[in-house]
Structure 1
């Protein structure tokens, strides 16, 4: 009996040893070989938790596929982190592109996505920022729209009918009416334009530059010169804003403008986009449902009103990965925007405006985002033109001159002249 027990024990130990040895020597590699791993590089930090959960849900219904999500941002230099990954050989399978400049930069690594279902169901115009030579290299992450966001309740209290604003003249009249009632309404000023933020100025400029290039992103990206064809309208809006804005306008930052003044009924109008909806919801969910609205800008003529909307980010797929990884990457992206449960996360939790026609505007949770979706569907938008400006133009060249004008230090003609010179120099 003792001898039998010893033999049995030795057998068990030997078996365990073999098993552990197999694992240690790559015995688990058969399983690894059967697993297709998709590495997703995400730079939208506000979507990290939802994207991590969606990756798990995808894995549950797709045996043999592993989705690894790496999220970089929130103070980190996402572009540098992505470059580091490529330089080290640890290239992601899926990563985000910011427009045509990124398509050109990463062109040797991008798969042609023209034949994907998502490319075929993308809302018209939303693929333009990732299309080159007729081929689609990026799929829209979402839609973001911006323009003059308003507090409809303050307009109503001032006796201004928002639906009746159909022209620049109507808008100017509304602004003056709001200003005349600001003390009764407890407002600091009509506008809360945060001119301290270069990106706000950059986005604002897109309304007036895009029409010059027929609202075509490729034309903007290729343009050797800019004439500021709609510079007069640019000036009209800028002067109106500066006159009726919280002062000093150059000191007004995003946080004060949106989280303090706009959210607390201290100003009636800010130049922002639907990305402020989650912030407003965290402060007062009723604000976005009952008060928030958006007005177009009238640029090409005094009655042709448009907002700016489009895809700020695109999902690119690394074509240099194994074929199985490339196909799994495409399938994961398609699942994100076609699976019923995933679609609900996209609209309800990520609070995205979807860029695909299989979504309904009814699925969008807040009224202003629905407005933006409808503007885009109706073709009443200009694209994200500023993303196609020459590198550094917005922040280091145009923005400082724009600030000088707001401060009364230079003339509007000087702003435009210096802008033209800088653009031409950058695009030589």
Structure 2
């Protein structure tokens, strides 16, 4: 199936041509990504084997490791309210590998998560049509395009998310920084001021894949017409090296290394990065709104904000990537389809408590409300959307598998195993291989 059909390329930009649809929903946000392998709660403590055998069992697999404890709590609440159902939830780091392994081994989950657009399309033959579920009428219009294939709506949208520079306001003030940088040169100057004040500017988590593909996305998203460029790349009418800001993207990587841990950045984990930021050891991280919860868990008093990560020296072009990062979907071969549908219906009904208040997600349903408790990163992201300063997450429209390929090439560059020219050549080779599949 060709994941670069014209419809999909047009869809990736549609939300940013209709930001008014989002304005009513967005006044704040939070979300998540990935980290360590963990299994969630399954049965209630003290439940006998005999009792468990009588229950229907729903197996859930998802990423967003930083909310693992909260997902477990949600599942525990569900089982208390639905004693005839046992829920086994697993939240993992190497998600894309595990989900494929589970399907191949005949141990496919009943409910799992996937991104929209090309990722959703790649799974579409395995997914249950959710078009007629009662909560579907309440999904935010921005979420629909990325989950709709052959007229079927396949997903339960989890959240809105944005990616940029999360910064410590007190450390900025200490370094005498009273204006947020809007260009790459200004961001470099900010890093210099921090360094001169004895403050470590960065500690980048380049051990992880997700910050790297988010940064790589900038080279695509900052194209004048990202959808057109993606189509040209798919057709072989342009190359990765032809992206206007491809070298500036490498400048962003270099910035994080120069003013952080250097080549050692490739060994820095997300947990380590977040902990050091929360305790004031570093001033900036290239990351997203999903960091709000793990940061405040370490230090609830940290004063932080977020601004768009510049990729060049044109301040007018500096925008923030914002998207719907993932959807819950139901395996259409599940033996517990009705129970799985009931679970998603319950999650929507209780979405304010779990998705918003607990998970700190920006709500992707029109009947759920944002709250001030979603935090300062949500507040700072909102104007980028409402003022037309948002750009897409093009990684959701890359060829399937390319999002996993590209971080490896960037890690090789960070580790000085390749130079820019070699890294770009490898990125192109991976692109060509994925397009052919």
Cα deviations by residue, 1:362-402 (Å, 9 ceiling, x for unpaired): 25432213433554465543344335444554555x44543
Deviation at 1:269, TM superposition (A): 0.9
Q: Which whole-Å CA distance do the structure 1 matches of 2:161 and 2:96 have between them?
A: 20
Alignment of 1:11-410 (within 5 A): 39-44=58-63, 46=68, 47-56=70-79, 59=82, 66-74=84-92, 80=98, 84=102, 88=106, 93-116=110-133, 118-133=135-150, 135-162=152-179, 164-181=180-197, 183=198, 187=199, 189-212=200-223, 214=225, 223-225=234-236, 226-227=239-240, 228-255=243-270, 257-287=272-302, 291-299=303-311, 301-319=314-332, 329-330=340-341, 332-339=343-350, 342-362=351-371, 364-372=373-381, 375-376=384-385, 380-396=389-405, 398-406=406-414, 410=418
Distance 2:133 2:94 in 1: 32
Preserved CA contact (<8 Å) 1:168 1:303 = no
Distance 1:295 1:266 in 2: 19
8 Å contact kept, 2:203–2:265: no
Aligned residue for 2:319, secondary structure, equals strand
Deviation, structure 1 residue 57: 6.3
Number of aligned residue pairs: give it.
Answer: 375
User: What's the CA shift for 1:420?
Assistant: 1.9
Do structure 1's residue 422 and structure 2's residue 437 form an aligned pair?
no
Which residue of 1 is the match for residue 34 of structure 2? none
Separation in 2, partners of 1:42, 1:371: 31
Check conservation: 1:196, 1:249, Cα contact below 8 A: no
> Which region of structure 1 is more displaced relative to structure 2, 205-214 or 147-156?
205-214
Contact 1:38/1:329 (8 A) holds in 2: no
Give the alignment's Cα RMSD to 1 decimal: 3.8
Gaps of 5+ in 1: 1-31, 61-65
Of structures 1 and 2, the larger Rg is shown by: 1
CA distance in 2, matches of 1:118, 1:218: 35
Describe the shift of the 1:314–1:260 C-alpha distance in structure 2 as closer, same or farther (beyond 3 A).
closer
Equivalent pair of 2:164/2:309 in contact (CA under 8 Å)? yes
Higher relative contact order (CA 8 A, sep 6+): 2
**Scaled by the length of structure 1, what TM-score is found?**
0.72
Give yes or no for contact 2:212–2:407 (8 Å, CA) kept in 1.
yes
Structure 2 counterpart SS, 1:268 = strand
> In 1, Cα distance between the equivalents of 2:156 and 2:232?
19
Alpha-carbon contact 2:72-2:89 (below 8 Å) kept? no
The offset of 1:105, in angstroms, is 4.1
Seen in structure 2, the aligned counterparts of structure 1 residues 221 and 196 have a Cα distance that, compared at 3 Å, is farther
Change (3 A) 1:356 1:256: closer
Q: Contact conserved, 2:204 with 2:286, CA < 8 A, in 1?
A: yes
Question: Could you tell me whether the CA contact under 8 Å between 1:257 and 1:270 is conserved in 2?
Answer: no
CA distance in 1, matches of 2:82, 2:98: 29
* CA shift for structure 1 position 115: 4.9
Q: Pick which of 106-115 and 203-212 moved more.
A: 106-115
**For residue 18 of structure 1, what is the aligned residue in structure 2?**
none
The CA deviation at 1:415 is: 2.6
SS of 1:241 mapped into structure 2: helix
Q: Quick one: distance in 2 between partners of 1:411 and 1:100?
A: 32
Going by fraction, where is helix more abundant, 1 or 2?
A: 1
